[in-house]
Amino acid sequence: MNNTFQFPVRVYYEDTDAGGVVYHASYLHFFERARTEFLRTLNFSQNQLLHEQNIAFVVKSMNIDYRFPACLDDALIVESEVVEVKGATILFSQILKRDELVLTTATVKVACVDLGKMKPAALPAEVKAAISK
């Protein structure tokens, strides 16, 4: 499980504060989009999983380290790697870079949830198999 998925991000005005620096919560959006697109590259749509299996992926925990600021118009790359897959959770390591400079790192534990019961659910076998490759 050492495949790194790369997702490009451009910083728009809406991502920044009045000084043109990326607002801290915007980093969460960048990381979320990268995880969603990672699943899409494995041929899984979160919308499809929601409607067909009544499951969703929710952030259970996140540890984020802001090292350097990103700014308006920056072209960035989010690198996402699956660190661990368990019964109902996926642990991601994510890095946000500008060129080779690491701006922000995050460790994100995502849980699979049965939306009807609002309780953890086992990852679908096909999702677990695709992620574990």
Is 91 strand, coil or helix? strand
Q: Which of 17, 73, 99, 114 is catalytic?
A: 17
In terms of phi and psi (left: phi > 0; alpha: psi -120 to 50; beta: otherwise), the region of 73 is left
On whether the CB atoms of residues 67 and 102 are closer than 8 A, the answer is yes
Token output for 118: 């609002």
Handedness of CA 116, 119, 122, 123 (dihedral sign): positive
Catalytic-residue membership of 17: yes
Quote the CA–CA distance of 14 and 12 in Å, as a whole number. 5
Dihedral angle, C-alpha 107, 41, 50, 34, nearest 10 °: 30
Which residues are known catalytic residues? 17
